[in-house]
């Protein structure tokens, strides 16, 4: 595919995480809500690049791209639809979650959008959600969390996300917008450099092996991979090493001969670990326990892919790009 120009757009992406995957029509309704206003008129300059559903997790990731000036309304419309259709009191899934809309991260897709732009829009989305859907409750992370700018992993730990709490367990949790209604749960809203999801499946049902592998590759472990936050979860009769791959400032340490993809936000260079390195490291560690791998997958796109595909979609006026990407992505 030949990359197009940026068309003067200051593009950002929101990888909207919603706690539903088993009803594909419902998830598509949430995605389409980002593309149309309350009168059903198509929003210019907005596209949905991808919808990723995982039935075991009962979680979907919807990749919405728009200009920084347009992202707020697109995301809020999608969130309103999700809150209308998803009831956390009936939610079942193996992936940790706290909210019907579990996560709203906003990522800049080029050096023409600054950190403050994304932080401002994230805070506006948080305020808009609690105003437009009474009973929702949010916490802020990353650039939006002023003045501390705590990362998502830290904020999730503080909120009990990793313990897979349910909305019924949220009494006493401090968040913006009040205690929140159990139907909606708790939503994380923030901004940061682009974060990808890379999942590697190991051929075992032994979750303890998965947890050892997860601990070994986690960024906080000596010798772990920079920017990698990871969980081991039961998945389709095996164990999935589910990684959040954060972009890290500058050039990473020399942990591989393979070059790390990079991009800029303003004057700052960021890099991210290649999915191939994660897959190779997991395979190596699994082999020590006599376990093979069943495959690795990058969920969605790299930052550069996301921007390039968004430019194609927007230049052609394609809103529901997730339906067209197999024909257009070459």
Domain ranges of the chain: 11-194+303-328, 195-299
pLDDT at 39: 86
pLDDT at 6: 44
**CATH number for the domain formed by residue range(s) 11-194+303-328:** 3.30.990.10
pLDDT at 326: 63
Residue with tokens 């968040």: 175
pLDDT at 299: 85
Q: Contacts from 301-305 at CB under 8 Å and sequence distance 24+? A: 301/49, 301/50, 301/63, 301/196, 302/194, 302/196, 302/261, 302/272, 303/107, 303/109, 303/194, 303/196, 303/247, 303/261, 303/263, 303/270, 303/272, 304/261, 304/263
Q: What is the pLDDT of residues 78-87, one digit of tens each?
A: 999 999 999 9
Is the peptide bond between 280 and the residue preceding it cis, with omega within 30 degrees of 0?
Answer: no
| Residue ranges for the chain with pLDDT beneath 70 | 1-8, 164-175, 177-179, 252-257, 326-330
pLDDT at 159: 82
pLDDT at 250: 87
**CATH number for the domain formed by residue range(s) 195-299:** 3.30.70.670
Distance separating alpha carbons of residues 61 and 14, to the nearest angstrom: 9
**Assigned token pair, 268:** 């700052």
Distance separating alpha carbons of residues 244 and 26, to the nearest angstrom: 25
Distance separating alpha carbons of residues 138 and 190, to the nearest angstrom: 10
pLDDT at 257: 66
Output the CA angle 165-156-55, nearest 5 degrees: 60
């Amino acid at each position: 595919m030949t990359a197009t120009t940026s068309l003067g757009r200051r593009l950002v992406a929101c990888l909207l995480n919603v706690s539903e995957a088993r009803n594909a029509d419902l998830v598509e309704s949430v995605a389409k809500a980002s593309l149309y206003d309350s009168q059903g008129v198509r929003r210019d300059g907005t596209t949905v690049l991808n919808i990723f559903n995982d039935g075991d997790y009962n979680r979907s990731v919807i990749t919405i791209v728009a200009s920084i000036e347009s992202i707020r309304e697109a995301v809020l419309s999608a969130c309103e639809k999700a809150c209308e259709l998803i009831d956390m009191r009936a939610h079942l899934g193996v992936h940790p979650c706290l909210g019907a809309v579990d996560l709203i991260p906003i990522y800049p897709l080029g050096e023409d959008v600054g950190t403050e732009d994304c932080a401002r829009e994230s805070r506006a989305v948080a305020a808009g959600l609690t105003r437009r859907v009474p009973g929702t409750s949010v916490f802020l992370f990353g650039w939006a969390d002023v003045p501390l700018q705590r990362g998502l992993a830290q904020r999730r730990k503080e909120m009990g996300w990793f313990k897979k709490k349910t909305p019924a367990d949220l009494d006493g949790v401090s968040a913006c917008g009040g205690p929140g209604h159990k139907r909606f749960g708790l939503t994380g809203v923030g901004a940061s450099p682009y974060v990808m999801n890379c999942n590697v499946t190991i051929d075992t049902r032994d979750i303890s092996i998965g947890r050892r592998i997860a601990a070994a590759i986690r960024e906080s472990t000596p010798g772990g991979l920079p920017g990698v936050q990871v969980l081991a979860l039961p998945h389709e009769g095996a164990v999935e090493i589910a990684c959040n791959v954060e972009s890290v400032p500058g050039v990473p340490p020399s942990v591989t001969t393979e070059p790390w993809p990079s991009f800029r936000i303003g004057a700052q260079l960021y890099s991210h670990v290649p999915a191939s390195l994660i897959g190779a490291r997991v395979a190596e560690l699994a082999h020590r326990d006599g376990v093979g791998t069943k495959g690795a997958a990058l969920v969605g796109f790299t930052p550069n892919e996301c921007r390039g595909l968004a430019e194609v979609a927007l230049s052609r006026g394609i809103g529901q790009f997730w339906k067209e990407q197999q024909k257009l992505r070459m």
